[in-house]
């Protein structure tokens, strides 16, 4: 608060019309985003990374109970489990992502201990980042221009979409980096160091963002020694962390993440960050190809990042210096649905560098803002950014209003979704709060305030007594898979897999104790309820033509 006070953020409505606009924009952003993420969560709308919400919530829940960073859900994604081992409740997620900065928000979680609370925390952190950005802009620019930059932030796809995603650790980065840059401008060097350390503590690769800041400070010679220090600190920390510290918890960084993201630069089944770095530096031709391809997707991504600032970042040398390394990291990752998506968390790593680069560009071209035509163009850019964000239905947060697919048509009316949500809640109420359970992706977060929870269809885990046991309960939602399968191939596969596994569970000491609206609840070593079995059989008969078609489509054609 002292930093915001010294930056000129005096909350006096009558004296600063520009600040009023920023506060109104921040308030609307917070209210709308909170409303959207909460309605999605409580109405069980599925998202691309629904499972991650459960992981983070269980990490917080375990940490609150003294078991720092442990998560059975995260264990299901470890390299050992993928090689056939059983998930472990004592698995520490630090081997996958080193995120000690999360402990800073543990007091907040103690007050609001739920996945919904984490979503509100995320919206709050990103909203506050915009206010710090205004203070940073105000240090260099007149109030009205600074306000436009802050409003551009709240209208950026790379800000809105990751904000309404499920909780993620990267939501802390804008606050820390904007704060660091403002502290640097105010010459509060102890705070610069604190925020630099917090940035590194966000996750193992957040040092790339800090390295960009150090690179800019060194190359521009604004703070040569500090820039070199930040660069050496961030680069050395990332190497030390990923090669020596994280492997103490698990081998996931070398066996999974390096290969999944940068495996094209190495020819081994596993690789350390040093090996990947050498592979990148020793193959410049491959590096260049990875940077520019796929050309259309790369260009769309960059245009989306530049749009809300009216493209001034394209001609801002500072923006390229600050955001160049985070951009490079995303461009050279293996092509998939996450690396070049404006709607997922990674897009937010570019935001601090681009916006600070824009601020510095405006310090040299303040007269352009007096041009009414340019201001209209800038307003159009912000409007288009918001429009494209809304029409893309980011992270399915607008599925109550926007179809998930137009061809074929996939839309679930809010009243129908609410009816389905009530059915899920009535089944969840039958599961004791301390019982072990496995659940499908969009339900698992609602059950993650417990020690033993898995991702359906997994049913075996290693408990605190170091014994491999089966979970007591299983809950699987086939209805939502049925709704989306016509448009999404992965949902079609999941529908058949889920139906087959529920049927398989019924032969493995699990009884079907309830079945409502396409959602099955099973309890180990309990007899099946006759009414539930009848409802399940009727539902399977309804699905039979669809499942038969899916099975036929999966069979190889004997006469290609």
User: Tens of pLDDT along 39-96?
Assistant: 999 999 888 778 899 999 999 999 999 999 999 999 999 988 888 899 999 999 999 9
Predicted local distance difference test score (pLDDT) of residue 554: 56
Of the two residues 550 and 136, the one the predictor is more confident about is 136
What is the share, in percent, of the chain residues with pLDDT greater than 90? 83
What confidence tens digit (pLDDT) does each residue in 241-256 have? 999 999 999 999 998 8
Mean pLDDT computed over every residue of the chain: 92
Residue 2 predicted with pLDDT over 70: no
For residues 369-381, give the mean pLDDT.
97
Cis peptide before 327 (omega within 30 of 0): no
- Whether the CB-CB separation of 516 and 477 falls below 8 Å is answered with no
Residue 30 predicted with pLDDT over 70: yes
Q: Indicate the pTM of the whole model.
A: 0.93
CA distance readout (Å), 138 to 151, 153, 190: 13, 14, 22
Predicted local distance difference test score (pLDDT) of residue 491: 86
Token pair of 353 as six digits: 């560098």
Domain ranges of the chain: 2-46+92-396, 409-550
Predicted local distance difference test score (pLDDT) of residue 81: 86
- Whether the CB-CB separation of 445 and 41 falls below 8 Å is answered with yes
Antiparallel, parallel or unpaired: β 437-439 and 473-477: parallel
Of the two residues 172 and 487, the one the predictor is more confident about is 172
* d(C-alpha 495, C-alpha 485), whole Å: 7
Residue 449 predicted with pLDDT over 50: yes
Predicted local distance difference test score (pLDDT) of residue 560: 39
Q: DSSP E strands: which ranges in 312-439?
A: 405-406, 409-410, 437-439
DSSP state of 468: E
Residue 517 predicted with pLDDT over 90: yes
Predicted local distance difference test score (pLDDT) of residue 558: 45
Residue 143 predicted with pLDDT over 80: yes
Enclosing H/E stretch for 407: none
Predicted confidence band at 337 (pLDDT cuts at 50, 70, 90)?
low
Predicted local distance difference test score (pLDDT) of residue 96: 94
* d(C-alpha 199, C-alpha 207), whole Å: 7
Residue 258 predicted with pLDDT over 70: yes
- Whether the CB-CB separation of 91 and 75 falls below 8 Å is answered with yes
């Amino acid at each position: 608060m002292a930093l915001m006070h010294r930056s000129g953020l005096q909350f006096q409505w009558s004296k600063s019309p520009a600040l009023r606009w920023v506060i109104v924009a921040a308030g609307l952003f917070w209210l709308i985003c909170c409303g959207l993420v909460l309605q999605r969560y409580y109405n069980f709308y599925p998202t691309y990374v629904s499972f991650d919400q459960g992981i983070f919530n269980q990490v917080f829940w375990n940490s609150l109970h003294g078991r720092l960073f442990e998560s059975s859900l995260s264990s299901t994604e470890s390299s050992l489990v993928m090689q056939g081992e059983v998930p472990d409740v004592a698995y520490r997620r630090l081997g996958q992502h080193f995120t000690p900065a999360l402990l800073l928000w543990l007091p907040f979680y103690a007050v609001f201990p739920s996945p919904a609370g984490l979503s509100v925390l995320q919206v709050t952190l990103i909203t506050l980042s915009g206010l710090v950005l205004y203070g940073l802009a105000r240090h260099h620019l007149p109030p009205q221009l600074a306000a436009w930059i802050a409003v551009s932030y709240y209208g950026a796809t790379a800000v809105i979409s990751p904000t309404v995603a499920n909780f993620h650790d990267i939501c802390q980065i804008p606050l820390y980096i904007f704060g660091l840059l403002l502290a640097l401008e105010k010459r509060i060097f102890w705070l610069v160091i604190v925020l630099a350390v917090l940035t590194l503590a966000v996750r193992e690769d957040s040092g790339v963002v800090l390295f960009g800041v150090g690179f800019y400070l060194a190359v521009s010679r604004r703070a040569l020694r500090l820039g070199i220090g930040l660069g050496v600190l961030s680069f050395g920390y990332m190497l030390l962390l990923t090669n020596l510290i994280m492997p103490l918890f698990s081998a996931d960084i070398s066996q999974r993440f390096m290969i999944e993201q940068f495996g094209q630069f190495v020819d081994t089944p596993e690789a350390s960050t040093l090996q990947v770095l050498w592979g990148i530096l020793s193959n410049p031709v491959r590096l260049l190809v990875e940077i520019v391809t796929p050309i259309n997707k790369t260009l769309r991504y960059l245009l989306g990042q530049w749009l809300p600032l009216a493209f001034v970042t394209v001609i801002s040398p500072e923006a390229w210096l600050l955001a160049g390394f985070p951009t490079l990291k995303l461009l050279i990752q293996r092509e998939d649905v996450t690396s070049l998506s404006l709607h997922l968390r990674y897009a937010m790593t570019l935001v601090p560098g681009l916006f600070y680069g824009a601020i510095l560009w405006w310090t040299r071209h303040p007269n352009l803002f007096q041009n009414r035509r340019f201001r209209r163009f800038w307003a159009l850019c912000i409007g288009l950014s918001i429009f494209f964000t809304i029409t893309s239905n980011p992270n399915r947060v607008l599925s109550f209003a926007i179809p998930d697919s137009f061809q074929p048509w996939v839309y679930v009316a809010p009243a129908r979704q609410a009816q389905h949500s009530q059915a899920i809640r009535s089944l969840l109420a039958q599961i004791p709060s301390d019982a072990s359970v496995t659940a499908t992706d969009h339900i698992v977060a609602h059950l993650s305030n417990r020690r033993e929870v898995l991702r359906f269809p997994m049913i075996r885990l290693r408990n605190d007594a170091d014994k491999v046991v089966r979970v007591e309960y299983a809950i699987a939602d086939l209805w939502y898979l049925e709704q989306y399968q016509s448009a999404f191939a992965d949902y079609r596969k999941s529908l058949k897999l889920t139906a087959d596994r529920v049927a398989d569970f019924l032969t493995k000491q699990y009884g079907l104790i309830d079945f409502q609206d396409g959602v099955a609840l099973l309890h180990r070593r309990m007899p099946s309820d006759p009414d539930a079995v009848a409802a399940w059989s009727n539902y399977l008969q309804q699905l039979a033509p669809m499942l038969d078609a899916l099975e036929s489509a999966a069979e190889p054609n004997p006469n290609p």
